[in-house]
Amino acid sequence: MKFYVSCGKGLEYLLADELVALGCARATAALAGANAEGELIDAQRAVLWSRLASRVLWPIAEFDCPNENALYAGVAAIDWTEHLTANDTIAVDAHVSGTAITHARYAAQRVKDAVVDTLRARTGARPDVDVDAPDVRLNLVVRKNRAIVSIDLGGGSLHRRGWRQKQGEAPLKENLAAAVLLRGGWPAVYAEGGALLDPMCGSGTLLIEGALMAADVAPGLLRHEGLPPTRWRGFDAALWRTLCEQARAREDAGRAALRPVFYGSDLDPHAIRAARDNEVMAGLAGVIQWQAAAVEQLQWPADALPANGVAVCNPPYDARLAADPALYRALGNSLKRLVPQWRASLLCGDADLAQATGLRAQKKYQVFNGAIECSLIVCDPVAPPTRAQTEAEPVALSEGAQMVANRLRKNLHKLKRWRQREGVSCYRAYDADLPEYAAAIDVYETASEPAELWLHVQEYAAPASIPEADQRRRLNELLAAAREAFAVPRERIALKTRARGKGGSKYGRFDRRGEVLVVREGAARLRVNLHDYLDTGLFLDHRPLRLRIAEEARGRRFLNLFAYTGAATVHAAVGGAAQTTTVDLSATYLQWCSDNLRENGIGGAEHRLVQADAVAWLEADRGRYDLIFCDPPTFSNSARADDFDIQREHVRLLRAAVARLADNGVLYFSNNFRRFRLDDEAVAAFADCQEISAETIPPDFARDARIHRCWRLQPR
């Protein structure tokens, strides 16, 4: 059975791993949640044990929902006597998207009406509504004219653990606190004898969550006090009692063995008092040591803190608690002074505030604290040894590595004036210039202050005739040369292997870091991910074409087909486009585009995102556009759309796109299929077509002038 578990944005991959660890047969990350496969016992176990979940939703019906009447009819068709009695109270949470049903509260009301009317017709009585503590909480999702009705097995948000009595001005949700602890590796550190420190602890959420995690306390035990969280008739109450009994046995053993290695400090004495009260309510009295002190004066006896541990913190950053970079700097300085060899996991307001700590982050994650986008950084250790401490003298490069380093310096010198003149901060520095060192090296400079330099290294798969030992040696030499030439630490190099599969490149997921960098291109700020996918979210060879679109977009209606992460859309919007429409089949890429737009302060109904097969959508669309960018893949065999082959389909695609152009409109068509041949005769029948490939290849890709081809089309 498939069910859905929601969570805060940025926690999806952690949640998917947790669900598998809890017994689910499979779990895959989705937007703000995970799709899980398993039995009812797995879903109930997630309600009791998940530290990251917000809700566990068990579907009971799915149906077509093109309008509100279909919604009412679909809900009314469910046999509600199988799910609740007329004496039960209910509540309905609704989430809708699309144009047919646009008001979530109205949709929830229609679901409630259908349930009430059905039960009244069957039993002569009707259930009442209790929005705060219903016996059965229902959940509705309407998306792409499909409705899913689910039972909320937890009866409400699972971030509530049941111990919080008092909270500070800006409390941290417990499931986000759990993510901070897990990203910091707290369970493993505790198992190795380590401690936990929060120097700005507020009401104690991170420390209490960390202590309960160390004590193996199920998050749902205090919340439900052993009672079933829902009166849904399908809920296995006997199984729930068994799960709770097992959890209590684990809790008894965990609390008995719990070590008092928890330290909390805060400037506000009132916050410390609230933290102490919460500690007692969580059954942890005496486990955590508290002190009221400013972060600058933070002190613990030298023998109190063990050699290893995790420092966690959620320093202030929202509108109510104004972010102060000086405070972040003081936090970083105190941690370097007090626990230099520990690990730190810090939830900062944004990348600039994270940078203000002065700590070097080995990993960065984009997460959300409610609606606030945050930067979660992990530093391991807090104060890494300097080069002078770790190396008595520089390690000499091998002959091969020195050869690569020399070529890199030559390339950098060659591109320097162009980069300075054009303000280019992300570019290709090397592309198998030396055949035996077959890789591409792209440079990404962040938009933060001060800027960070990152390298994206793509190793091309070697021929089978090259011994594996030689492949490893050459790769290591290339990486050593890159670190030397660019003066970047190892942790700022993302390495991938680009292999060819049937029909073309593989575009699978590589990692689950969720680490996002923000870079500049022209006037646009764009998000890139160097680790999780084969490509980074920004095709550097299309830079000139995106800048051209920015220049031509002012006051015009822009359409981006096969949009990928929407970089061209951002350039058009920043350039003053009157409206933009972005079409892609991937929800992941559309969300990425949305994040890119938000990064530039762009939003509103005039910027439309459409999840659809681009060709089918284009042939059905009746809009008019002044500027169109179309950069299709070489092929696509998505299960959600017809197979696409650029050579076979390009005439059909271009005819449909040109038909949507307004008078004097322009279509830029590009693709990177090296054997592509434009059907000039067929295209000439409906468009004036001019190849402009040479104008769109930037200097850093001059060595591979056929990285893509590009045409400018206008209707005849």
pLDDT, one tens digit per residue, over 568-620 is: 999 999 999 999 999 999 999 999 999 999 999 998 999 999 999 999 999 99
**Could you tell me if 407 and 372 lie in one domain?**
no
**Could you tell me if 42 and 123 lie in one domain?**
yes
Amino acid at 162: G
Question: Which tokens belong to 283?
Answer: 């059954």
Q: Span 356-364, mean pLDDT? A: 89
Q: Are 369 and 3 in contact (CB under 8 A)?
A: no
Give the full edge-to-edge strand order of the sheet including 453-460.
426-431, 439-445, 453-460, 493-498
**Could you tell me if 410 and 297 lie in one domain?**
no
Cα distance between residue 388 and residue 36, in whole Å: 49
Query: Which comes out higher in pLDDT, residue 673 or 100?
Result: 673
**Could you tell me if 420 and 379 lie in one domain?**
no
pLDDT at 321 over 50: no
**Residue 242: inside a domain, yes or no?**
no
**Residue 65: inside a domain, yes or no?**
yes
490 secondary structure, DSSP code: G
pLDDT at 90 over 80: yes
pLDDT in tens, 121-177: 999 999 999 999 999 999 999 988 999 999 999 999 999 888 887 655 557 999 999
Q: Span 111-130, mean pLDDT? A: 95
**Could you tell me if 53 and 134 lie in one domain?**
yes
How many CB atoms are closer than 10 A to CB 12? 23
**Could you tell me if 659 and 646 lie in one domain?**
yes
Q: Are 660 and 628 in contact (CB under 8 A)?
A: yes
**Could you tell me if 45 and 147 lie in one domain?**
yes
Of 364, 384, 404, at which residue does a domain stop? Answer: 384
Q: Going along 239-298, which residue ranges are E strands?
A: 262-266, 288-292
Of 384, 402, 429, at which residue does a domain stop? Answer: 384
- Residue 503 — pLDDT band, cuts 50, 70, 90? very low
Question: Angle at which helices 104-123 and 68-76 pack, to 10 degrees?
Answer: 40
**Residue 522: inside a domain, yes or no?**
no
71 burial via Cβ count (<10 Å: 0-12, 13-18, 19+): buried
Q: Going along 153-229, which residue ranges are E strands?
A: 195-198
**Residue 235: inside a domain, yes or no?**
no
Question: Which tokens belong to 334?
Answer: 């105190």
Question: Which tokens belong to 646?
Answer: 């650029």
Hey, CA dihedral for 415, 416, 419, 424, is it positive or negative? positive
**Residue 168: inside a domain, yes or no?**
no
Cα distance between residue 538 and residue 428, in whole Å: 12
Which of the residue ranges 306-320, 356-370, 616-630, 675-689 would you say has the lowest mean pLDDT?
306-320
pLDDT at 256 over 50: yes
**Cα 484 → chain centroid:** 31
**Could you tell me if 69 and 179 lie in one domain?**
no
**Could you tell me if 485 and 345 lie in one domain?**
no
pLDDT at 549 over 60: yes
- Residue 505 — pLDDT band, cuts 50, 70, 90? very low
pLDDT (0 to 100) of residue 106: 95
pLDDT at 387 over 70: no
**Could you tell me if 475 and 343 lie in one domain?**
no
**Could you tell me if 584 and 659 lie in one domain?**
yes
Q: Are 542 and 696 in contact (CB under 8 A)?
A: yes
pLDDT (0 to 100) of residue 643: 79
Q: How far is CA 93 from CA 138, 283, 403, in A?
A: 6, 33, 63
For residue 551, give the CATH number of its domain: 3.40.50.150
pLDDT (0 to 100) of residue 500: 47
Cα distance between residue 666 and residue 713, in whole Å: 6
Cα distance between residue 80 and residue 330, in whole Å: 58
pLDDT at 649 over 80: yes
Do the strands 309-313 and 343-348 form a parallel or antiparallel pair, or are they unpaired? parallel
| Structural domain that includes position 658 | 539-715
pLDDT in tens, 185-244: 999 999 999 999 999 999 999 999 999 999 999 999 988 777 899 999 999 999 999 999
pLDDT at 434 over 70: yes
Hey, what's the torsion of the CAs at 532, 534, 536, 541, to 10 degrees? 180
Q: Span 484-489, mean pLDDT? A: 90
**Could you tell me if 621 and 646 lie in one domain?**
yes
**Residue 236: inside a domain, yes or no?**
no
Look-up of token digits 């972040």:
328
pLDDT (0 to 100) of residue 129: 95
In the three-class reduction of DSSP (H, G, I as helix; E, B as strand; rest coil), residue 516 is classed as: coil
Q: Are 350 and 373 in contact (CB under 8 A)?
A: yes
Of 152, 185, 201, at which residue does a domain stop? Answer: 152
pLDDT in tens, 294-316: 998 888 876 678 889 999 999 98
- Number of independent structural domains in the chain: 4
pLDDT in tens, 258-299: 999 999 999 999 999 999 999 999 999 999 999 999 998 888
**Residue 529: inside a domain, yes or no?**
no
**Residue 244: inside a domain, yes or no?**
no
Average pLDDT, the chain: 91
pLDDT (0 to 100) of residue 320: 42
pLDDT (0 to 100) of residue 372: 85
For residue 426, give the CATH number of its domain: 3.30.750.80
Question: Which tokens belong to 194?
Answer: 């380590």
pLDDT (0 to 100) of residue 301: 72
